[in-house]
Amino acid sequence: MKPQPRGARGTVGRPYSALNLRLIFALFGLVSCGVLAVLTARADLPVAAVVLAVLALVALVDLVVIIKRRAARRRIEPPGTHHSLFE
Protein backbone atom coordinates (compact mmCIF):
# COMPACT_ATOMS: atom_id res chain seq x y z
CA MET A 1 0.00 0.00 0.00
CA LYS A 2 1.32 3.42 -0.90
CA PRO A 3 1.12 6.41 1.43
CA GLN A 4 -1.77 7.86 -0.55
CA PRO A 5 -3.54 6.99 -3.78
CA ARG A 6 -2.59 8.48 -7.13
CA GLY A 7 -4.42 11.59 -8.15
CA ALA A 8 -4.98 12.67 -4.56
CA ARG A 9 -4.77 16.39 -3.93
CA GLY A 10 -2.16 16.05 -1.19
CA THR A 11 1.53 15.30 -1.38
CA VAL A 12 3.84 13.33 0.87
CA GLY A 13 4.86 16.58 2.57
CA ARG A 14 1.25 17.69 2.95
CA PRO A 15 -1.06 14.65 3.07
CA TYR A 16 -4.71 14.91 2.10
CA SER A 17 -5.80 12.98 5.18
CA ALA A 18 -4.91 13.64 8.83
CA LEU A 19 -4.06 10.04 9.66
CA ASN A 20 -3.46 10.55 13.38
CA LEU A 21 -6.78 12.32 13.88
CA ARG A 22 -8.52 9.76 11.69
CA LEU A 23 -6.99 7.00 13.82
CA ILE A 24 -8.49 8.49 16.98
CA PHE A 25 -11.93 8.85 15.37
CA ALA A 26 -11.82 5.27 14.07
CA LEU A 27 -10.87 3.95 17.51
CA PHE A 28 -13.69 5.93 19.08
CA GLY A 29 -16.16 4.63 16.50
CA LEU A 30 -15.02 1.04 16.96
CA VAL A 31 -15.29 1.12 20.74
CA SER A 32 -18.53 3.08 20.96
CA CYS A 33 -20.34 1.14 18.22
CA GLY A 34 -19.08 -2.17 19.59
CA VAL A 35 -20.28 -1.42 23.11
CA LEU A 36 -23.60 -0.06 21.88
CA ALA A 37 -24.08 -3.11 19.63
CA VAL A 38 -23.68 -5.41 22.62
CA LEU A 39 -26.00 -3.28 24.77
CA THR A 40 -28.72 -3.11 22.12
CA ALA A 41 -28.45 -6.86 21.50
CA ARG A 42 -28.94 -7.48 25.23
CA ALA A 43 -31.89 -5.06 25.21
CA ASP A 44 -33.57 -7.19 22.52
CA LEU A 45 -33.16 -4.69 19.68
CA PRO A 46 -31.65 -6.88 16.95
CA VAL A 47 -31.91 -4.42 14.05
CA ALA A 48 -30.09 -1.69 15.95
CA ALA A 49 -27.50 -4.21 17.13
CA VAL A 50 -26.79 -5.33 13.57
CA VAL A 51 -26.51 -1.75 12.30
CA LEU A 52 -24.10 -0.87 15.10
CA ALA A 53 -22.09 -4.04 14.54
CA VAL A 54 -21.72 -3.17 10.84
CA LEU A 55 -20.56 0.33 11.77
CA ALA A 56 -18.02 -1.18 14.18
CA LEU A 57 -16.79 -3.42 11.37
CA VAL A 58 -16.40 -0.41 9.07
CA ALA A 59 -14.37 1.35 11.78
CA LEU A 60 -12.17 -1.74 12.10
CA VAL A 61 -11.49 -1.82 8.35
CA ASP A 62 -10.70 1.89 8.47
CA LEU A 63 -8.23 1.24 11.30
CA VAL A 64 -6.41 -1.34 9.18
CA VAL A 65 -6.18 1.09 6.25
CA ILE A 66 -4.93 3.88 8.51
CA ILE A 67 -2.26 1.68 10.08
CA LYS A 68 -1.04 0.57 6.65
CA ARG A 69 -0.87 4.16 5.38
CA ARG A 70 0.98 5.30 8.50
CA ALA A 71 3.49 2.48 8.00
CA ALA A 72 3.97 3.45 4.35
CA ARG A 73 4.48 7.08 5.37
CA ARG A 74 7.01 6.01 8.00
CA ARG A 75 9.00 4.02 5.42
CA ILE A 76 9.50 6.96 3.05
CA GLU A 77 10.19 9.70 5.63
CA PRO A 78 13.53 10.31 7.29
CA PRO A 79 14.00 8.78 10.76
CA GLY A 80 12.90 10.95 13.66
CA THR A 81 10.06 12.65 11.78
CA HIS A 82 7.07 13.25 14.04
CA HIS A 83 3.56 14.28 13.11
CA SER A 84 1.05 16.24 15.13
CA LEU A 85 -2.48 15.05 15.68
CA PHE A 86 -3.66 16.94 12.60
CA GLU A 87 -1.06 15.60 10.13
The answer to the question of residue 13 being in a domain is: no
11 vs 58, residue with greater confidence? 58
Question: How many percent of the chain have pLDDT more than 90?
Answer: 48
Give the pLDDT band of residue 9 (cuts 50, 70, 90). Answer: low
User: What region does 77 belong to: left with phi over 0, alpha with psi -120 to 50, or beta?
Assistant: beta
Q: What pLDDT shows up at residue 28?
A: 97
The answer to the question of residue 2 being in a domain is: no
Q: What's the pTM value of the predicted model, to 2 decimals?
A: 0.74
The answer to the question of residue 57 being in a domain is: yes
Arithmetic mean of pLDDT, 3-29 = 73
Question: Whole domain around residue 53: which residue ranges?
Answer: 19-74
Sequential DSSP letters for 64-82: HHHHHHHHHHHHHSPTT--
C-alpha 4, offset from chain centre = 14
The answer to the question of residue 4 being in a domain is: no
Name the phi and psi angles at 12, rounded to 5. Answer: -65, -40
The answer to the question of residue 67 being in a domain is: yes
The answer to the question of residue 83 being in a domain is: no
Q: What's the structural domain count of the chain?
A: 1
